[in-house]
């Protein structure tokens, strides 16, 4: 049944393209909403074996080359499908005002979502790679056509980085396919690859995926891409696309090449820790609100990579939980910065924003941003805390030193988040800007966008609900993630 998330989204994409533009946002909403409903219902479905990567569909595709259309699901996949669908629904809601070529906009948006569902559910290496690469081009068009600041540069940079990562993944996948003689992920996970192959194939494959997850020093596409993207684009990038990389690293690279992981895990950990601290430090100095959030994404994804590098149950489960958590929080932050603030003030410069007293002009946006910031800083009660504490407990077992450095990094995270919060919403008031309840007048077309709309409120509400629900009751997901992680090979072979 979960396979229908893919089909419905693809069908939605085609319908959006063919039907008149007035329907497009509704079709997109229905398609993503259906995906959300399906994944949520499966979360509470009892008779689904989430501890193993259980096949749901399997049909021959190119028998001559051993390719199958093979989908499967376990706790990790389900978690990521869920966060994808949540982010998708809210990104559609936050794009309710897109009037320029809406058909194509929602077409590309739905393709990203459908491709991501596909990646998270594929149990065939080739199929996974098809979906993975399928996501690249829609991103380019979303950013290059509907983006803002420096959009063509950002779009091209992001696309080429993704494609470069894809090329590395390509080599790794072919290596696994040719030596393992199969494309079935479950079969390959049983195959003993020789250590010499693992020594080079693991880093190639993992690096290829990790580029999309924002691994330092190959993270630079992320801030520029996030800034250039339209609001929904940034939400999808932060919420979904970066997870594709981390998921690929876990499901493919780590699971197929456990000995390779052993050889290289400490280097991943080193890069991840540098990424966490470095990105947080850079975020502290940014003037553009979206750049602050972009770097915070890199920093948060550093936690995911650090968790993966521990190769123990807690660390990896925490990493998966962090993928969920950051997906929701990152999307929320970008929604506030891109849609709620930028569409009304036409600026994201923190110094300009600090003159506007946005907390009085846009009280709802201020409320949402406070919650998102708190969640991002890792305040208990929000999902960020649950995820990061799980990761750090896992890390403590393998790399105690990393916990200390990361701890310092978390102080930096709090510092830049608070700085952005203060400057954007609680700045010093200035008399020279006209203010009206719900409106900001800096730009000539200031009255174009009025109060926060219902769509925005719904989208924000959904994301806030998700982060609080998991923050208060993380077992809801952890109980499903942990068994799936426990059945992975790198744990059994004593990683």
Nearer to another protein, 114 or 484 (CB): 114
Which residues sit opposite 436 in a β-bridge? 439
Minimum distance of another protein from residue 223's CB (angstroms)? 21
Binding footprint of another protein on the chain (CB under 8 A): 61-65, 126, 129-131, 133-134, 136-137, 140-141, 144-145, 152, 156, 159-160, 163-164, 167, 170-171, 174-175, 177-178
Nearer to another protein, 152 or 443 (CB): 152
Nearer to another protein, 61 or 364 (CB): 61
Nearer to another protein, 170 or 426 (CB): 170
Cβ–Cβ under 8 Å, residues 382 and 454: no
226 membership: H or E segment, kind and range: helix 221-228
Minimum distance of another protein from residue 165's CB (angstroms)? 10
Minimum distance of another protein from residue 163's CB (angstroms)? 5
Q: 448 Cβ partners below 8 Å, 6+ apart?
A: none
Class of residue 365 by CB neighbours under 10 A (exposed 0-12, middle 13-18, buried 19+): buried
Angle made by CA atoms 202, 203, 206, in degrees to the nearest 5:
80
Nearer to another protein, 13 or 460 (CB): 13
Minimum distance of another protein from residue 30's CB (angstroms)? 24
Nearer to another protein, 111 or 304 (CB): 111
Minimum distance of another protein from residue 187's CB (angstroms)? 17
Could you write out the three-class secondary structure of 459-480?
HHHHHHHHHHHHHHCCHHHHHH
Token look-up 């809801």 returns: 476
Minimum distance of another protein from residue 422's CB (angstroms)? 38
Cβ–Cβ under 8 Å, residues 142 and 230: yes
Q: What is the spatial distance between Cα 488 and Cα 494, in angstroms, rounded to a whole number?
A: 11
Q: What is the spatial distance between Cα 366 and Cα 118, in angstroms, rounded to a whole number?
A: 36
Token look-up 């409903």 returns: 37
């Amino acid at each position: 049944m979960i396979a229908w998330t893919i089909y419905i989204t693809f069908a939605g994409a085609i319908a959006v393209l063919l039907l008149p533009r007035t329907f497009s946002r509704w079709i997109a909403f229905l398609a993503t909403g259906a995906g959300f409903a399906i994944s949520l219902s499966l979360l509470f479905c009892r008779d689904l074996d989430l501890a193993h990567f259980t096949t749901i569909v399997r049909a021959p595709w190119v028998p001559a080359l051993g390719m199958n259309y093979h989908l499967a699901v376990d706790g990790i996949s389900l978690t990521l499908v869920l966060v994808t669908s949540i982010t998708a629904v809210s990104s559609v809601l936050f794009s309710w005002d897109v009037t320029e070529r809406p058909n194509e906009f929602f077409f590309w948006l739905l393709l990203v979502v459908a491709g991501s569902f596909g990646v998270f559910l594929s149990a065939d290496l080739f199929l996974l790679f098809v979906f993975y690469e399928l996501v690249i081009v829609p991103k380019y068009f979303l950013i290059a056509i509907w983006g803002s600041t420096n959009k063509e540069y950002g779009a091209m940079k992001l696309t080429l980085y993704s494609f470069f990562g894809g090329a590395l993944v390509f080599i790794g996948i072919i290596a696994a396919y040719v030596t393992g003689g199969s494309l079935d992920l479950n079969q390959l996970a049983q195959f003993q690859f020789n250590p010499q192959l693992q020594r080079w194939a693991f880093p190639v494959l993992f690096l290829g995926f990790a580029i999309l997850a924002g691994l330092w020093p190959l993270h630079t596409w992320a801030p520029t891409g996030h800034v250039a993207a339209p609001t929904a684009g940034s939400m999808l990038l932060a919420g979904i696309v970066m997870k594709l990389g981390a998921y690929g690293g876990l499901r493919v690279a780590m699971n197929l090449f456990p000995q390779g992981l052993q050889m290289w895990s400490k280097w991943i950990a080193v890069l991840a820790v540098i990424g966490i601290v470095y990105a947080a430090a850079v975020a502290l100095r940014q003037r553009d609100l979206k750049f602050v959030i972009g770097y915070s994404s890199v920093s948060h994804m550093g936690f995911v990579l650090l968790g993966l590098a521990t190769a123990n149950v807690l660390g990896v489960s925490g990493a998966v939980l962090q993928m969920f958590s950051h997906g929701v929080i990152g999307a929320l932050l970008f929604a506030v910065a891109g849609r709620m603030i930028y569409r009304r003030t036409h600026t994201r410069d923190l110094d300009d924003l600090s003159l506007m007293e946005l907390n009085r002009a846009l009280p709802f946006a201020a409320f949402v941003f406070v919650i998102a910031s708190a969640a991002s800083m890792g305040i208990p009660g929000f999902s960020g805390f649950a995820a990061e504490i799980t990761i750090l407990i896992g890390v403590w077992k393998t790399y105690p030193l990393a916990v200390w450095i990361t701890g310092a990094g978390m102080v930096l995270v709090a510092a830049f988040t608070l700085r952005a919060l203060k400057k954007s919403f609680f700045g010093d008031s200035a008399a020279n800007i006209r203010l009206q309840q719900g409106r900001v007048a800096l730009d000539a077309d200031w009255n174009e966008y009025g109060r926060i709309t219902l769509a925005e409120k719904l989208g924000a509400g959904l994301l806030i609900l998700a982060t609080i629900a998991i923050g208060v009751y993380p077992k809801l997901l952890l109980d499903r993630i942990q068994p799936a992680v426990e059945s992975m090979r790198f744990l059994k072979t004593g990683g």
